Amino acid sequence: MSTLFQLGQGLTVAEAAARLARDGPNVLPSGRRTPAVVLLLRQMVHFFALLLWGASVLALLAGMPQLAVAIVIVVLLNGAFAFAQEYRADKASQRLRELIPANVVVRRDGRRTVVAAAELVAGDVVLLEAGDRISADLRLADVHALGVNESMLTGESRMVRPAAGDEVFAGTFVVEGQAEAVATATGGRTRLAGIARLTEEASRPPSPLSVQLGKVVRIVAGIALAVGAAFFGLAQLLGMHAGESFLFALGVTVALVPEGLLPTVTLSLARAAQRMADNNALVRHLEAVETLGSATFICTDKTGTLTRNEMTVAALWAPDCPPADVLRTAVLSSTGRMSDGKPVGDPMEVALHVEALRLGADVDDEITARFPFDPLRRRASVVAGGRLHLKGAPDAVLPLCRAVPGVDEALAAMSDRGLRVLAVARGDTAQERDLEFLGLVGLFDPPRADVAEAIWKCRIAGIKLAMVTGDHPRTARAIAAEVGLLGDDELVVTGAELPGDDAALGELLDRDGVVVARVTPEDKLRIARALRSRGHVVAMTGDGVNDGPALREADIGIAMGASGTDVAREAADLVLLDDHFATIVSAVELGRATYANVRRFLTYHLTDNVAELTPFAVWALSGGTIPLALSVLQVLALDIGTDLLPALALGAEPANPRTMHRPARTGSLIDRRVLVRVFGVLGPTQALAEMGAFIGVLLLGGWQLGAVPDAGLLAAASGAAFAAVVLGQFANAFACRSQSRWVGRMRWRTNPLLLGAVAVEAVLLLVFLGLPAVAGLLGGAFPPAAGWALAALAIPAVILADAAYKARQAGRRRASPDAPDVMR
């Protein structure tokens, strides 16, 4: 088959299917994945796990096999839990990556058609435009001002300009221009695949959230080691044998290390990312979930994001030219078409093609030269039939034309209606000057139905909005006013009017409802930088080939999945699969909920640690006159029995209805509010209930301060203390669901996972205390009825203390109206 025939007709659908079956899909060979067993073993040999293994060996050598077995169980359970979360998160990320749109325009059977990049085969005629990712190795045949970014392969960001006959390679991007090319190699036979086989995949740097959580874990672990060392010294002073003192202190330290925290966070982020994907928001990096929740300023495009991107020609002004001629020139200078009833290409150009066909315009002509649209020229032109045909933004086209009376009034009338206006002209030569003005075409793109509600949500959430668009300022203002985005001061500026100084730019735009029209990609980059310099967490949308720098500069780059370019999607943190502004708002809400969930199970973990430490502190401070309420094995059992499942369930807590009714939260995960709640309210209450149950059972059994209690009485009292901690944690789990509402005002059925976790914990409590062998191993016994009654007081005690604290905080908020709303 000759190249000329291929370029004219392309492959047949049958031939393409046969080649796909012969050569396989156009996908890169999967990199070597780490086996699951290796991932599992890694969770067993990190720093804290090695510390635990060493402790178990020492316990075994010291003749304490029970402690050795318990420590091994902790290692295995924590390791298995962490592995399960990492494996599940990795699988979720793989599924999310598969959702990223990857299509290519080809010519088959003589018609333009869109196929999945994986279905591209050698011999296909590929049609390239600015913004496309090149999905296979191609040989160029027809080139029009083509520019390609090969930095993926060469490391140099400099644009190259290949000519007809040159090769371009998979993984590179079309920066500008257009071309037709023939695929020469696909999948594992491409140059990119060869490089991938030689290059080990670089490990991803830790996310800001992971760094912050790692800091929390290190601080808590450091405190645990310090407490263990202190208890070792106290045990020595009280006459305990050195070996026993060491094991005692080591057991306390081991019990207080929050090893399950990071995998719990990872799973929470992965679950949120999957929920976002279900809502058409594809998160490309898990850490972006949390960053989304911190957004304070959203810079949104207009077309397709606030509007439906379903354009129709709504008005045409042609004073001296038949409408069909105007549409013919507009379509000749376009590449978008309606093909077999399906739109292919830019929706605006498809709308022009549909209207031209309706008017009976002849849109088929041999094009001898093409000058594609770019953000600087803001127009596109072709030479066909010996004449120049051009369309573009009115302010870019009208200066090239001979004067036409009434054009300014017609342009203003269309723009004030919210229409997107194109100017159409033609010339007798290929030179873009002294052109014949043909007319104005007004296209209507209706706003999306629920955009106004999404904008209202942003306003009550304290998120500022700006429309940043390339459209005419009158059109942008009309749409902004219609959807409710335009601010009270009705500020509308163009890119040319923006201050040159970034500080002045930030001051100008740092307001709600500003509209910036006729922006260039460079303007968007400056806007993102200026707003970030004023302390904002900026989310920036973009769909163009040159939007990549702005998307990377913003804290959250958001690309369009349905209409955006591959370049923009590669640079973005979030891809909107439906291009819908309301999807951004839903993603922000999920991001805020995830941040709140991390704080929830942090509070839960730390409260339990207070209750676990208290018996040892009381024993040490009393000089041993008050016996230990809990053994080290019981503390380990509490970690196994109370932390994992409820913490996991708290990580799945749905978003509070008032999540978007307050400004975004930023800053440290463990702030003053968390510390006060843990160490000033929940922890001490749970500790008092625990020690009250323990000492109450001892006193009811005839024990006196300083005396050595009977072994059976001590075991029963210890069982009561153990039960008080577990029951207190039940109440704590529900209390941690909100930072403002007490348990009685919460809907219990909104988090069924938590109900299930509490039910499982109740069964475990009965197993730990009800089975004599297990209870004896841990060092406790089934408490008497009075002990259970005292232990049960932990539930109302925690609930009431939590309610009193929240009521006090609510009173302070009412007294200080300017205080931040912390409803969770």
Q: Which of 439, 446, 476, 470 is nearest to 311 (CA)?
A: 446
Tokens 């109900």 locate to 755
Contact indicator for 379, 397 with CB cutoff of 8 Å = yes
How far is residue 805's CA from residue 824's CA, in Å, rounded to a whole number? Answer: 14
Question: What CA–CA distances, in Å, run from 175 to 140, 372, 686?
Answer: 15, 11, 62
- The structure tokens listed for 801 are 């203390």
56 burial via Cβ count (<10 Å: 0-12, 13-18, 19+): buried
Kindly report the backbone phi and psi dihedral angles of residue 33, in degrees, each rounded to the nearest multiple of 5, phi listed first: -90, 145
Q: Which of 480, 499, 483, 482 is nearest to 491 (CA)?
A: 480
How far is residue 596's CA from residue 659's CA, in Å, rounded to a whole number? Answer: 9
Q: How is residue 642 annotated by DSSP? A: I
802 is catalytic: no
Rg of the chain on CA atoms, in Å: 34
How far is residue 692's CA from residue 734's CA, in Å, rounded to a whole number? Answer: 22
User: Residue 162 belongs to what H/E stretch?
Assistant: none
Query: What does the DSSP assignment read for 234-258?
Result: HHHHTT--HHHHHHHHHHHHHHH--
Contact indicator for 736, 650 with CB cutoff of 8 Å = yes
- The structure tokens listed for 233 are 């010294």
CA torsion angle 415 417 418 420 (round to 10) = -50
In the chain, the amino acid numbered 276 is M
- The structure tokens listed for 592 are 């805020």
Tokens 């960001």 locate to 157
The residue annotated as part of the active site, out of 301, 374, 566, 639, is 301
Contact indicator for 570, 638 with CB cutoff of 8 Å = no
Q: How is residue 329 annotated by DSSP? A: H
* Three-state secondary structure call for residue 198: helix
Other beta carbons within 10 angstroms of residue 396's beta carbon come to: 17
* Three-state secondary structure call for residue 667: coil
Q: Which of 757, 724, 740, 759 is nearest to 651 (CA)?
A: 757
Paired with 389 in beta bridges are 382, 426
Residue spans of beta strands (DSSP E) within 8-150: 103-108, 111-116, 125-129, 137-149
Sheet of 556-560, strands arranged across:
281-283, 574-576, 556-560, 538-542, 297-300, 464-468, 514-517, 492-494
How far is residue 123's CA from residue 428's CA, in Å, rounded to a whole number? Answer: 38
**Which residues are marked as active site?**
301
